[in-house]
Amino acid sequence: MADIKKLVSMLKELDDLLTGCMRCGMCQAQCPVFAQTGKETDVTRGKLALLSGLSDEILKDPEAVNEKLQRCLLCGTCEANCPSGVKVTDIFLRARAILSGYLGLPPSQRLVFRRLLTNPKLMNNLLSLGASLQGLFTKEADGVIGTSCARFNAPLIADRHFKKLASKPLHSVTPKKDTPPGKSGLRVAFFPGCVTDKVFPQVGQAVLKILEHHQVGVFMPPNQSCCGIPALSSGETEVFDKLVRQNLDLFATSKWDYLLTPCATCTATIAELWPKYYGDKMDGIRAANIADKVMDVSQFLHDVLKIPTKESASPAKVAYHDPCHLRNTLKITTQPRQVLAAGGKYTTAELPSGPSCCGSGGSFNLKHYKLSDVIGRKKAESIAATGAGVAATSCPACMLQLADMLSKTGHSIPVKHVVELYAETL
Amino acid sequence: MIRDALKNEFQKIVGKDNVMTEAAELHAYSYDSAVLDQTQPAVVVRPENSESLGKVVKLCNENGLKLTVRGAGTNLSGGTIPHPGGVVCLTTALDKVLEINEEDLYAVVQPGVVTAKFAAQVAAKGLLYPPDPGSQAVSTLGGNVAENAGGLRALKYGVTKDYVMGVDFFDVNGELIRSGGKTVKCVTGYNLAGLMIASEGTLGVFENITLKLVPFPAAYKAMMAVFPDMMDASRAVAAIIANKIVPATLEFMDNFTIRTIENFRKAGLPVDAAAMLLIEVDGHQGQVEDDAAKVEAICKENKATSVRVAKDDAERNAVWQARRDALPALARVKPTTVLEDATVPRSKIPAMMQALDKIAKKYDLIIGTFGHAGDGNLHPTILTDKRDQKEWHRVEAAVDAIFDEALALGGTLSGEHGIGIAKAKYLKNEYGVGAINYSRRMKSVLDPNNILNPGKILGPLLA
């Protein structure tokens, strides 16, 4: 293990960011994890205090601090509501990188990040093998939602009701696309993101259908890499850099006006994190340029294409869940609702509990499934309370969580992406 | 370090998951919202019901363990900073609203209920729980009672103490003491509930609290008045009251605060104004119309350059957004924010403002001031960086000067934040040695082992 002095000196770089916290504790009102546990180490103020303690050498237990630091969904709700404007996500991502560099990631996790994530072809092959075998180990849980659960006792799956890997991922049906701008005069690059590609290919197809309908040219290169957020949030900055560079190279091979993704997390990562954390300073300008052009699909449809809204006499209610990365990071809340309404078939039913994190948080769901489960069940009850026949959101990761929770709580409410519902009205 | 045997005892009472002894966990309870040094407890416990709460108190007393009860830890005077090596008892799991009685207008709550959540539940029944401290989104009712928290509506509706009908609390032996009741009138025995209010956790541990509720006002109207001079704003405040109008809220902001908010929100605030008053009147529709018109006229008579009356809820919200922005905007100017609550009779606000101006100049500090003009409770907010040691010494000297000034003007050390550790040293300046000795004698009888939040209010002599 490296010298603790070195750790302290690395953490000192966070000092300016950390002192901005005036310890008012207002983050307690926002934090979904604290709401469940009531423990100070689970809320932002506590985590910031732990990092300060470590950096001031009052506290000498980096393992414990790292463990507490992982108990965060990175939903950004605290940051969006922080009176002092503390850059919480920035601090946490940097601290995770420093601590995981110091403590080292578990070898299995490191292998996944370094060998698999950075090799899209290998990952695709491996996952399609998985897709063909998964039926042996799983059985149907809810036919309407389309979830499965473990057939045998499987610690990795636990009691999850999950969406299976798609038998035909998007990249196998539509490996690439390169069409000229139509009447819209626009051409967009399309980044479906891993979960869309491998679990919800129909979301990707919906986007392509919408773009074709509105006569928007599409550039979708094959062998796209992950946006990098799983690596970055685990502190694997080298892997993150590699993934960003692979994507930058890929999308630089053609000209386009906007980069669209149907994934709130990918959009937020490309918009905010690529330019901030991409380590290659020489090449940083490319990351900044792409960050300026990335858009959530609904944002593009509403703000750029200005799609018209069809009038409807009796639209069906859709319970809309605001993904944290759209709501907190990108401040996009109206556009998905407008797109839902635009088709003339649906109207948004607001959740009685208000917007809040669904509890997924990417790898948080893997590491702290029990907590993720409690938070998610509340979300499911809130969705059910709207009386809507369909739940929709703008993030495939949230879709996984909502499907799991609605299925487990016995609410047979299908979960759709906003663009799926809009596409069916075209 | 806590002995294993004791740790086991605590685990037996509250369960394994609710006893924290790891260094990182203890570190997270070594501070509150006050800018003070951190001190670590030896153990943190989180009882999930009243019975275990009582047992925790008893166990602490039997073992001479210093006990600090903590809700949201939003205390601004160090009241929830634990005694070194002591016990922190969390109330975050004691968060049930036990009863909301619409016939007799009261509610019974556990101490860990979050103020704003409670207010929302009560409002859903058409009732109002008026105390609304700035931290209400997270602060707990137990803490509000223990500190006698105030808020924006204090001018008309009073502070927390005006709504406490009863407190059931554990004494140091873990015996449940009942006080007050559910009747509007209740003069049975000593006013023990009154004794608990503002006692800052030094006399008992709250088990549940009975709070008075009032009907929600039928109508309200908010307005924003801009003044070229602070004296004019102060005269307007005095004239409003003299005209027998008691607004629900009457808030004040100085020029520095206005400019900082404008810089932060870009909401079109008058950056040249010396002062701004944010006023809301409430009550019956007719009365609200009358009062609002009178207030507008009074402000103009006192040289307000403009008075903007909110026409709808959106405009009303804009008025209050400006007030809500005061702290966030100021907090972003410098890393450390020292928020004080020196309070003077409202007629002395201009004198206090002038004094603050002098103090800022003398100690070369940035002080933004906003607060409750209607009740004289000001929040001079010093913007600094604690890491700059020279400046920090000047901050400490300036804080001393602020309290000297407030007392000289017939004011008080704390309008709503409490004494805690931060202001214990000034206590004799306000009440003299007699009051301190009387309080100490009382505490020594009720808490002979001095386990209940020692060092708070009465200073370190008993600690």
pLDDT tens, residue by residue, B403-421: 999 999 999 999 999 999 9
- In whole angstroms, give the CA distance from residue B395 to residue B360: 9
- In whole angstroms, give the CA distance from residue A145 to residue A415: 6
Alpha carbon of residue B13 to chain centroid:
31
* Strands B127-128 and B97-101, sheet pairing: unpaired
**B283 phi, psi to nearest 5 deg:** 140, -145
Chain B residues with CB under 8 Å of a chain A CB are: 20, 22-25, 27-33, 35, 38, 46, 72-74, 90, 92-93, 95, 112, 114, 116, 135, 137-138, 327-328, 331-332, 335-337, 385-387
Residue B242: how many other CB atoms lie within 10 Å: 10
Q: B463 CA to chain A: closest CA distance, Å?
A: 24
**Using the beta-carbon criterion (under 8 Å), do B72 and A83 form an inter-chain contact?**
no
ipTM attached to this prediction: 0.95
Mean pLDDT (whole number) for B97-108: 98
The single-letter DSSP state of residue A116 is I
Angle among Cα A116, A122, A125 to the nearest 5 degrees reads 125
Check CB contact of A49 with chain B, cutoff 8 Å. yes
Q: CA-CA-CA-CA torsion for A51, A55, A60, A64, nearest 10 degrees? A: 20
User: For the stretch A200-217, what's the b/e string if a residue is b when 16 or more beta carbons lie within 10 angstroms of its beta carbon?
Assistant: bbbbbbbbbbbbeebebb
Yes or no: say if A351 and A382 are a contact pair by the CB < 8 Å rule.
yes
Q: B34 CA to chain A: closest CA distance, Å?
A: 8
Q: Which of A145, A185, A182 is nearest to A304 (CA)?
A: A185
Q: Which of B335, B355, B336, B333 is nearest to B344 (CA)?
A: B355
Mean pLDDT (whole number) for A339-349: 95
Kind and range of the H or E run holding B402:
helix B389-408
- In whole angstroms, give the CA distance from residue A183 to residue B137: 51
pLDDT digit string (tens) for B33-90? 999 999 999 999 999 999 999 999 999 999 999 999 999 999 999 999 999 999 999 9
Confidence at residue B461, expressed as pLDDT on a 0 to 100 scale: 57
Amino acid at B69: V
Q: B141 CA to chain A: closest CA distance, Å?
A: 15
- In whole angstroms, give the CA distance from residue B440 to residue B433: 10
pLDDT digit string (tens) for B320-370? 988 989 998 999 999 999 999 989 998 899 999 999 999 999 999 999 999
* Strands B366-372 and B377-384, sheet pairing: antiparallel
Residue B300: how many other CB atoms lie within 10 Å: 14
Yes or no: say if A105 and A113 are a contact pair by the CB < 8 Å rule.
yes
pLDDT digit string (tens) for A286-313? 999 999 999 999 999 999 999 999 988 8
Query: Which residues fall within 8 angstroms of residue B12, CB to CB, at 6 or more apart?
Result: none
Decide: helix, strand or coil at residue B19. strand
Q: In B77-118, where do the E strands start and end?
A: 87-90, 97-101, 106-109
Mean pLDDT (whole number) for B279-285: 96
- Kindly identify which residue of chain A lies nearest to residue B264, measuring between CA atoms: A85
- Kindly identify which residue of chain B lies nearest to residue A49, measuring between CA atoms: B28
Q: pLDDT confidence of B462, banded at 50, 70, 90?
A: very low
Yes or no: say if A38 and B48 are a contact pair by the CB < 8 Å rule.
no
**Using the beta-carbon criterion (under 8 Å), do A49 and B30 form an inter-chain contact?**
yes
**Using the beta-carbon criterion (under 8 Å), do A25 and B30 form an inter-chain contact?**
no
- In whole angstroms, give the CA distance from residue B159 to residue B416: 9
- In whole angstroms, give the CA distance from residue B338 to residue B330: 10
- Kindly identify which residue of chain B lies nearest to residue A29, measuring between CA atoms: B138
**Using the beta-carbon criterion (under 8 Å), do B22 and A26 form an inter-chain contact?**
no
Mutation site for B-interface testing, chosen from A15, A18, A19, A41 by largest number of B Cβ within 10 Å = A41
- In whole angstroms, give the CA distance from residue A176 to residue A309: 31
**Lookup result for tokens 């560099």:** A101
pLDDT digit string (tens) for B160-169? 999 999 999 9
Q: Which of A359, A368, A367, A364 is nearest to A409 (CA)?
A: A359
Q: Which of A303, A293, A294 is nearest to A334 (CA)?
A: A303
Of B33, B46, B90, the CB nearest to A24: B33
Confidence at residue B440, expressed as pLDDT on a 0 to 100 scale: 95
pLDDT digit string (tens) for A126-171? 888 788 878 777 888 888 888 888 877 777 777 888 888 888 999 9
Question: What is the DSSP annotation of B208-277?
Answer: EEEEE-EEPPSEEEEEEEEESSHHHHHHHHHHHHHTT---SEEEEEEHHHHHHHHHHH-S---TT-SEEE
Q: From chain B, pick out residues whose CB is under 8 angstroms from the CB of A28.
A: 72, 138
With a cut of 90, say whether residue A115 has pLDDT above it. no
- In whole angstroms, give the CA distance from residue B34 to residue A23: 8
Q: pLDDT confidence of B463, banded at 50, 70, 90?
A: very low
Alpha carbon of residue A195 to chain centroid:
9
Mutation site for A-interface testing, chosen from B26, B27, B333 by largest number of A Cβ within 10 Å = B27
**Lookup result for tokens 């957004």:** B321
Mean pLDDT (whole number) for B126-151: 96
Q: Which two tokens stand for residue A48?
A: 């910031």
Q: Which of A388, A298, A423, A425 is nearest to A415 (CA)?
A: A388
- In whole angstroms, give the CA distance from residue B251 to residue A85: 24
Mean pLDDT (whole number) for B200-215: 98
Confidence at residue A3, expressed as pLDDT on a 0 to 100 scale: 75
Check CB contact of A83 with chain B, cutoff 8 Å. yes
Mutation site for B-interface testing, chosen from A24, A41, A84, A370 by largest number of B Cβ within 10 Å = A24
Q: A65 CA to chain B: closest CA distance, Å?
A: 6
Confidence at residue A127, expressed as pLDDT on a 0 to 100 scale: 81
- In whole angstroms, give the CA distance from residue A168 to residue A267: 24
Mutation site for A-interface testing, chosen from B138, B324, B382, B387 by largest number of A Cβ within 10 Å = B138
- In whole angstroms, give the CA distance from residue A140 to residue A151: 9
The single-letter DSSP state of residue B343 is B
With a cut of 80, say whether residue A189 has pLDDT above it. yes
Mean pLDDT (whole number) for A200-224: 97
With a cut of 60, say whether residue A269 has pLDDT above it. yes
**Using the beta-carbon criterion (under 8 Å), do A25 and B93 form an inter-chain contact?**
no
Confidence at residue A2, expressed as pLDDT on a 0 to 100 scale: 55
**Using the beta-carbon criterion (under 8 Å), do B328 and A29 form an inter-chain contact?**
no
Q: How many beta-carbon pairs under 8 angstroms link A with B?
A: 91
Of A16, A50, A83, the CB nearest to B328: A83
- Kindly identify which residue of chain A lies nearest to residue B324, measuring between CA atoms: A83
- Kindly identify which residue of chain B lies nearest to residue A35, measuring between CA atoms: B92
Q: From chain A, pick out residues whose CB is under 8 angstroms from the CB of B112.
A: 38
Kind and range of the H or E run holding B52:
helix B50-62
Angle among Cα A180, A186, A191 to the nearest 5 degrees reads 80
Cα dihedral sign, A225-A226-A229-A235 = negative
- In whole angstroms, give the CA distance from residue B110 to residue B209: 6
Kind and range of the H or E run holding B459:
none
With a cut of 60, say whether residue B10 has pLDDT above it. yes
pTM over 0.95: no
**Lookup result for tokens 């797109």:** A339
Query: Which residues fall within 8 angstroms of residue B17, CB to CB, at 6 or more apart?
Result: none
Q: pLDDT confidence of A114, banded at 50, 70, 90?
A: confident
Mutation site for B-interface testing, chosen from A4, A14, A18, A22 by largest number of B Cβ within 10 Å = A22
- Kindly identify which residue of chain B lies nearest to residue A25, measuring between CA atoms: B74
With a cut of 60, say whether residue B102 has pLDDT above it. yes
Alpha carbon of residue A110 to chain centroid:
20
Yes or no: say if A212 and A183 are a contact pair by the CB < 8 Å rule.
no
Check CB contact of A107 with chain B, cutoff 8 Å. no
